[in-house]
Amino acid sequence: MVTTKQHILSLLCEVHDPEIPVLDIVELGIVRDVRVHGKQIHVNITPTYSGCPAMHMIQHDIIGTLNKNGFRNVEITIVYSPAWTTDWLGASAKEKLKEYGITPPETVNEVVVTLPGSEMECPFCNSHNTELRSEFSSTACKSLYFCNDCCQPFEHFKEI
Amino acid sequence: MKNGPDHRTKNVLVEFLFRLGDDRLILGHRLSEWCGHAPILEEDIALANIALDLLGQASALLRLAGEIEGKNRAEDDLAYFREATQFTNLQLVEQPNGDFAFTIARLFFFSAFNNLLSERLQKSSIEALAGIAAKGFKESSYHLRHSKEWMLRLGNGTEESHQRMQIAVNELWRFTGEMLAFDEVEEKLQQQNVIPDLNPIAPKWNEIVAAVLTEATIIIPSHQKDGGQAGNHAVSGSRNGFHSEHLGHLLAEMQILARSYPDAKW
């Protein structure tokens, strides 16, 4: 059987982001390209943030998953261009984020970073009576909010 | 390398990448020293996140420098096995953290610079550099806004926070001159169309900083009665490896593990 790019991509959907395990690396937009040359698989990935500490684990998991499926010859290249953007998150990925308790990102405006809306929707009770606590939360890609109605802290996946 | 830089341009490009990488590595390290010590938990996390962004940028830039240099030096070799005189970071970023106002004012000065520089370097003819810059531009936009908000909060806060911010700005002013002064390295790269003209950065930086300082009711040092006393002792030379005594101490701490256990993995 000839290995197709599609087959490799479906295997890569088994690799999840260790920080946000509800998303796999394909729907997160981290996988930029897959090339198949006979038995050799070449995967291009891009970091969400320059210093994303999950990148090492993601590389390790990609190799592990492909090895497990019989692909021993795997090469991974980290690419920086074009720079990752939250606009690459599809509608279903955003829905998963919300169910997981993280308010998904809006579409990035022309001005790269807009002032955070003071009416971020709470993923738990859908209230807009919320306030920004910090633009930097448990990971670089999220900011921290507080819901004044259900009194829960929640995170927002920042637009970038 | 087809259409790649010629030998002499290559050396200059490596030197330029060292400058970019070293600035971010050293400031990232300084900010990481706040981990567990910031005034509130949210700020502790914010400074650590910003430090991580800068370390990530440094790692990518030094990796690229090592690849172009072609002497088989990876980013860790460059970070851990060079001496202080081989680092070409700005003296601004190696200064000890001081109080919170000093840390914030420095972060604001550098973020404004990083943002303007990254914006331009997205147009570099070196695709890898353009990509790193595109990422740095987005990240530094967040750093700039975060530090700007603290500038306003401290400048317009209590009498003590205002005073501390004014002292911090006065002390830091003499380190900003060499940050905005480009030399033959950048000129040569611009002539070879590797990077765009960086000279518009200085007036734009002054504009951004003046607007924020004014809003924060902080007096711009060069507008002070003594003509910006601090400005008279402006530092220079760090792009050629001349540093304050603080860099050596910083490197001793940053490099000791890698040097004691050269092949350590964790």
Contact status, residue B257 vs residue B81, Cβ threshold 8 Å: no
Instruction: State in Å, rounded, how far the first CA of chain B is from the last one.
Output: 35
* Strand, coil or helix: A75: strand
Question: Which residues of chain A make contact with B43, given a CB cutoff of 8 A?
Answer: 134
Q: Do A84 and B52 touch (CB under 8 A)?
A: no
Give the whole-angstrom CA distance, residue A69 versus residue A64. Answer: 9
Give the whole-angstrom CA distance, residue A157 versus residue A75. Answer: 30
The alpha helices in chain A, defined as continuous H runs, are 5-12, 54-68, 91-100
Q: Do A49 and B132 touch (CB under 8 A)?
A: no
Residue A24 has what DSSP assignment?
B
Q: Which residues of A touch B (CB under 8 A)?
A: 47, 49-53, 79-84, 112-113, 115, 133-140, 144, 158, 160
- What residue in B sits closest to A158 (Cα-Cα)? B142
Contact status, residue A74 vs residue A66, Cβ threshold 8 Å: yes
Q: Give residue for tokens 């692909």.
A: A71
Q: How far is B95 from chain A (nearest CA, A)?
A: 23
Q: What are the structure tokens assigned to A44, written together? A: 């291009």
pLDDT at B263: 79
Please enumerate in sequence order all residues whose Cβ is within 8 A of that of A63, keeping only pairs 6 or more positions apart, or say none. Answer: A74, A76
The closest CB to that of B56, out of A52, A138, A158, belongs to A52
Put residue B237 in one of left, alpha, beta given phi > 0 → left and psi -120 to 50 → alpha: left
pLDDT at A75: 94
Give the whole-angstrom CA distance, residue B129 versus residue A80. Answer: 8
Q: How far is B109 from chain A (nearest CA, A)?
A: 19
Contact status, residue B59 vs residue B67, Cβ threshold 8 Å: no
Contact status, residue A62 vs residue A76, Cβ threshold 8 Å: yes
Could you give phi then psi for residue B152, rounded to 5 degrees? -70, -45
pLDDT band at A51 (very low <50, low <70, confident <90, very high): confident
Q: Examine the pLDDT at A110 and tell me if it is beyond 50.
A: no
Question: Which residues of chain A make contact with B136, given a CB cutoff of 8 A?
Answer: 50
Contact status, residue A106 vs residue A159, Cβ threshold 8 Å: yes
User: Tens digits of per-residue pLDDT, B119-169?
Assistant: 999 999 999 999 999 999 999 999 999 999 999 999 999 999 999 999 999
pTM, two decimal places:
0.90
Contact status, residue A134 vs residue B42, Cβ threshold 8 Å: yes
pLDDT at B4: 59
Q: C-alpha dihedral over A97, A88, A75, B1, to 10 degrees? A: -150
Between A53-57, A60-64, B154-158, the lowest mean confidence (pLDDT) is in: A53-57
Report chain A's C-alpha Rg in angstroms. 18
Give the whole-angstrom CA distance, residue B205 versus residue B211. Answer: 10
User: Tens digits of per-residue pLDDT, A65-102?
Assistant: 999 999 999 999 998 888 889 999 988 999 999 999 99
Give the whole-angstrom CA distance, residue B214 versus residue B138. Answer: 25
Q: Which domains does chain A have, with CATH numbers?
A: 5-78 (3.30.300.130), 86-157 (no CATH)
Q: Give residue for tokens 């970023």.
A: B93
Q: Which residues of chain B have pLDDT under 50?
A: 1-2, 230
User: Does the ipTM exceed 0.95?
Assistant: no
Q: C-alpha dihedral over B52, B260, A58, B115, to 10 degrees? A: 20
pLDDT band at A38 (very low <50, low <70, confident <90, very high): confident
Give the whole-angstrom CA distance, residue A34 versus residue A8. Answer: 7
Q: Examine the pLDDT at A112 and tell me if it is beyond 50.
A: no
Q: Which domains does chain B have, with CATH numbers?
A: 7-260 (1.20.1260.10)
Q: Do B43 and A84 touch (CB under 8 A)?
A: no
